[in-house]
């Protein structure tokens, strides 16, 4: 499976001619990420994870495209792309489904707390083909499975470095790559990734930096 990282939280998976995209948000190169896609998985409603206009346009122009997202996101997109309503599906934690040949399991359920005065929204983490796990804005650890490839939110208003490291330790995937990193400068990135790389290795996780446009076989 080929994994391509785009800016921030957007990741594209390609296998046997099939394409699945996580979280094409407003910080990301959505047109490139969504080109030829068969499935889109949205973790939650924040704009850095879903560019509503770009995703709606893709749903209207690509009649093969299916989308899964928390109910609030699905409802918004049905309003923006009414002709694609039958291909827009609500997703919640604790589900299993198949889309375009990819097997998907869902975990989590809610966004991590940013501040008590900021409402907590629904957040769904997705495990694809028992391999790649995108948690969205959450450190929910999938139960009952061995994740092979972990996408790690290395920086956010809702996390700190110790929590990032503990998430990597808790999942213990053989390999990990960064997501949710658009607000970091190079100094901050080096600090966070240094801790994740060093401590993660003690627990069997090989962390590798990817910049936007970089790919990896997983």
Per-position pLDDT tens, the chain of length 218? 999 999 999 999 999 999 999 999 999 999 999 999 999 999 999 999 999 999 999 999 999 999 999 999 999 999 999 999 999 999 999 999 999 999 999 999 999 999 999 999 999 999 999 999 999 999 999 999 999 999 999 999 999 999 999 999 999 999 999 999 999 999 999 999 999 999 999 999 999 999 999 999 99
Reference 173, options 123, 213, 134; nearest CA is: 134
pLDDT at position 190 = 96
C-alpha dihedral sign at 106, 107, 110, 112: negative
Show the tokens assigned to 158: 């809702």
pLDDT at position 205 = 98
pLDDT of 88-97, one tens digit each? 999 999 999 9
DSSP, residue by residue, the chain: -EEEE-STT-EEEEETTEEEEE---TTS-HHHHHTT-SEEE---SSTTT--HHHHHHHHHH-TT-EEEE-HHHHHHHHHH-GGGGGGEEE--TT-EEEETTEEEEEEEEEPPPS-TTS---EEEEEEETTTEEE--S--PPPSSS--SEEEEE---TT--HHHHHHHHHHH--SEEEEES-TT--HHHHHHHHHHHHHHHHHTT-EE----TT-EEE-
- Rounded to a whole number of angstroms, the CA Rg of the chain reads 16
- 0.85 exceeded by pTM: yes
pLDDT at position 150 = 98
pLDDT at position 170 = 98
| 152 vs 176: CA distance, rounded Å | 7
pLDDT at position 61 = 96
pLDDT of 189-217, one tens digit each? 999 999 999 999 999 999 999 999 999 99
| 82 vs 24: CA distance, rounded Å | 20
Contact 53, 36 (CB under 8 A): no
**Superfamily per CATH, domain 2-213:** Ribonuclease Z/Hydroxyacylglutathione hydrolase-like (3.60.15.10)
pLDDT at position 210 = 98
| 136 vs 142: CA distance, rounded Å | 13
pLDDT at position 214 = 98
Reference 72, options 96, 92, 93; nearest CA is: 92
């Amino acid at each position: 499976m080929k994994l391509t990282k785009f800016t921030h939280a957007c990741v594209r998976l390609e296998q046997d001619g099939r394409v699945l995209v996580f979280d094409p948000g407003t910080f990301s190169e959505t047109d490139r990420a969504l080109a030829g896609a068969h499935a889109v998985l949205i973790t939650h409603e924040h704009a850095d994870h879903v560019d509503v206009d770009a995703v709606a346009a893709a749903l209207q122009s690509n009649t093969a495209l299916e989308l899964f997202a928390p109910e609030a996101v699905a409802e918004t997109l049905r309003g923006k792309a009414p002709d694609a309503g039958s291909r827009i599906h609500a997703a919640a934690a604790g589900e299993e489904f198949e889309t375009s040949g990819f097997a998907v399991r869902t975990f989590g359920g809610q966004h991590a707390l940013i501040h008590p005065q900021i409402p907590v929204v629904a957040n769904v983490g997705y495990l694809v083909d028992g391999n790649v796990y995108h948690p969205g804005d959450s450190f929910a650890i999938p139960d009952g499975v061995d994740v092979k490839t972990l996408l790690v939110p290395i920086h956010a208003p809702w996390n700190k470095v110790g929590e990032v490291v503990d998430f990597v330790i808790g999942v213990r995937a053989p390999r990990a790559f960064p997501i949710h990193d658009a607000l970091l400068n190079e100094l901050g990135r080096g600090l966070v990734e240094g801790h994740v790389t060093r401590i993660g290795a003690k627990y069997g996780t090989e962390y590798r930096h990817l910049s936007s446009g970089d790919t990896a076989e997983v």
